Amino acid sequence: MNEVVIDASFLPEVERTSLSDIPEHLLRHTIGTTDLAHFQRSALEHIAFFEAATLKHDGKRLYDYQSILDFGCGTGRLMQMFPNTANIKGCDPNGPLVKFCNDFFKHAEVYQSQPEPPLKWADGTFDLVYSFSVFSHLKRDSEERWLKELARVGKPGCIYLITIQGDWWLESKFSKPEREKIQNAGFWYFDIHTSRGTEMDFPENYGSSIHTSDFIRQEWSKHMDVLQVYKGRPPMLYDHPSLPEAHRRALEGSRSMGQDMVIMRKR
């Protein structure tokens, strides 16, 4: 059976810096495989999900935002989808990934952040903050500090797109007794951190965390307004009546993201 190819016509016809040659050890660190085609397809899919969300909740395309933060940018999987004219910043605690992004994305500013706040930017810098698969790994206390910090660097009305291991992950990956235990707690952290003593090591506060949507609405709303929590599948959950047809075709050809996505707005 031929693999369905995502329709990329929803992307604007502008100059962008597409990743074409990533060192295998960086690619494996980022997505767990060296399959560049998978990496690039997932970038298109995630951007389609993100933009469907901003169109619904803020009436804007991703490229309409004036100051953008890619929090936990990795190798720039999503950063590459933005036009070279975009005012986009990135941060990551991994030095080799930051160096790769700075060498590759001449139009972006990427710096090596620490595993804990603060970030170097001033209060109210960004009007869009997105983060893929960072808050699916943080301990509870670290998560709280980072939510507070991301609220600080956002402008009033800033939109946040943050993925988590949420209800879909909980329902699909755990037995019923495990699921009930985590659902009752609302948040669960698995300490899976390992150290090889290299510069590619993940931070010590980086394990595997599970959130229920009820927990997100109750706890994260202390920092920002929670607009919606999208389940990790199916992709058409992101569809809405005002979505342009090109975006709808992209969703129809997409695989499920797997992670739930939280949409928030700074008060």
pLDDT tens, residue by residue, 101-134: 999 998 899 999 999 999 999 999 999 999 999 9
Q: Can you tell me the distance from the alpha carbon of 2 to that of 216, in angstroms, rounded to the nearest whole number?
A: 38
Q: What is the CA radius of gyration of the chain?
A: 18
Domains and CATH numbers, the chain: 24-265 (3.40.50.150)
Residue 213: C-alpha distances to residues 86, 134, 160 (Å) = 32, 17, 16
Q: Can you tell me the distance from the alpha carbon of 233 to that of 256, in angstroms, rounded to the nearest whole number?
A: 5
Residue 6 clears pLDDT 90, i.e. is over it: no
Do 25 and 200 meet the contact criterion of CB atoms below 8 Å apart?
Answer: yes
DSSP bridge pairs for 208: 190
pLDDT in tens, 169-208: 999 999 999 999 999 999 999 987 665 665 656 667 789 9
Count CB neighbours of 156 within 10 A. Answer: 9
DSSP bridge pairs for 159: 128, 265
List, in sequence order, the alpha helices (H) in the chain: 24-31, 36-58, 95-104, 140-153, 167-173, 176-185, 213-219, 245-252
What is residue 201's predicted lDDT score, i.e. its pLDDT?
A: 62
What is residue 198's predicted lDDT score, i.e. its pLDDT?
A: 59
Residues 6+ apart with CB under 8 A from 189: 139, 140, 207, 208, 209, 210
What is residue 2's predicted lDDT score, i.e. its pLDDT?
A: 41
The percentage of the chain sitting over the pLDDT mark of 70, rounded to a whole number, equals 94
